[in-house]
Structure 1
Amino acid sequence: MRIGAKICGISTPDARDAALGGGASHIGFVFFAPSPRNLDPDASAALAVGVPDHVGRVGVFVDPDDALVERAVAAAGLDTIQLHKTAPDRVAALRTHFGVQAWAAVAVKTRADLDAARTFSGAADRILYDAKTPDGAALPGGMGLRFDWSLLDGVRHPLPWALSGGLDAGNVAEAVRRTGAALVDVSSGVESAPGVKDSAKIAGFLRTVATL
């Protein structure tokens, strides 16, 4: 089984091309103003032009309003919305209204945090397990934090799922072996500075994933 890889926080043509050239299964555009990776929907349209149909276009949002999702879906041709800090009924409503796949992010620090995944059964298409950021942090992800992967041992996942949080070329192989993840998601782990994607790091990450 080929392991999928999403390169998240794409904001330049060079980063997009590195992701596509390396064989990424998905690319992610962030629509969240506090993030250093934030894109205006109009800017995402230009980046999306070069993305082939077989690569998923994922828009990343934090409890968004309909207007932002509508603009982003239309501009970037999104087929998936990834929702952080968004209640299950809201995830379901956005998924239905816009006719796209919905991934629900579950922030993980303890085993009890995994219980939230079950609440998205029937509301989302995929769970994204991500590291919980500190209380008061401006961002729900993309901070290079990882959680204890052993927390996923023996978990019965209610939906297909992806692994995020602190991944990079040096640990992604261990992460996949440890958790059995079929899809991995990276952002800060392929950057030279917050929001600045490094094409060489993207290529290295994707080369490693391709060997798994």
Structure 2
Amino acid sequence: MLRVKVCGLTRSQDARLACELGADAVGFIFYPKSPRFITPDKAGEIASGLPEHVARVGVFVSPEPVEVQAAISAAGLDAVQIHGSDSPELYSALPVQTICALNLPPGSQLRDAEMQAAGAVAIVFDSHAPGQYGGTGRLSDWQLARELAARLTLILAGGLNPDNIRDAVEQVKPWAVDVNSGVEAAPGEKDPEKLERFFHEIKDYRGDRDAD
């Protein structure tokens, strides 16, 4: 069964709609340079109004473990997604699961991804854009993603939207998908129609969860 994470949330109404449509996880970005930045305290306020079964994921870029620990407490996180770190083992002592975000340049090999993902419970396979960490709107390398999905717990990200999500799932066969800019009206603001279309397009891959 395909799982779905809706990331880059900054508004309560968007988070609630994502959950109503069947999101398995919601993502909050704690990287100050992101246009979708949110403070852990604000994320905690939003998360407090969501169903318990929906995982709260905090997204970080090269953070210090103490920073992550503070955000876990403030936002009530269930998992953390780490970008920009070649040493995910630094976060192995955290009380929640760690997801490793891969941002591989063109020409990367399977072994490069496997080395970066060591110690993580899952990997987010995103598109490569120098200086950017997620929300680029660019497609990732689906061929490499497919190879990784056959060997690792892979969450596919990178330019996913209602128009390409079916092709992405068919080609890559990921464990989960992670959508952000592809369902936005503006950075940090989800478009309800796009979000609804996104879930509609993948309902056939989600068992009975989103059946009409």
TM-score, shorter chain, exceeding 0.5? yes
* Structure 1 range deviating more: 160-169 or 68-77: 68-77
Task: Report the Cα distance in structure 2 between the residues aligned to 1:182 and 1:201, rounded to whole angstroms.
Answer: 22
- State the match for 2:210 in structure 1: none
CA RMSD in angstroms comes to: 1.8
Distance across 1 between alignment mates of 2:172 and 2:15: 27
- The SS at the match of 2:99 is strand
Matched, 1:83 2:76: no
Counterpart in 2 of 1:5? 4
Q: How many residues in Structure 1 have an aligned counterpart in Structure 2?
A: 205
| Corresponding residue of 2:108 | 112
What is residue 95 of structure 1 aligned with on the other side?
Answer: 92
For 1:1-212, list aligned pairs within 5 A: 2-88=1-87, 91-96=88-93, 98-120=94-116, 122-133=118-129, 135=130, 137=131, 139-155=132-148, 158-212=151-205
Closer, same or farther in 2 for the Cα pair 1:204/1:112, shift >3 Å?
A: same
The verdict on how the C-alpha distance between 1:14 and 1:93 changes in structure 2, with shifts beyond 3 A counting, is same
What CA deviation, in whole Å up to 9, does each residue of 1:131-176 have, x standing for no partner? 001x3x3x21101011231233444755311100000011111000
Q: Deviations over 1:11-49 (max 9, x none)?
A: 101110110010001100000001111111110110010
How many angstroms apart in 1 are the aligned matches of 2:124 and 2:13?
26
Q: Which stretches in structure 2 are left out of the alignment for 5+ residues? A: 206-212
The SS at the match of 1:81 is strand
Q: Which secondary structure does the structure 2 equivalent of 1:105 belong to?
A: strand
Identity %: 35
TM-score, length-normalised on structure 2? 0.89
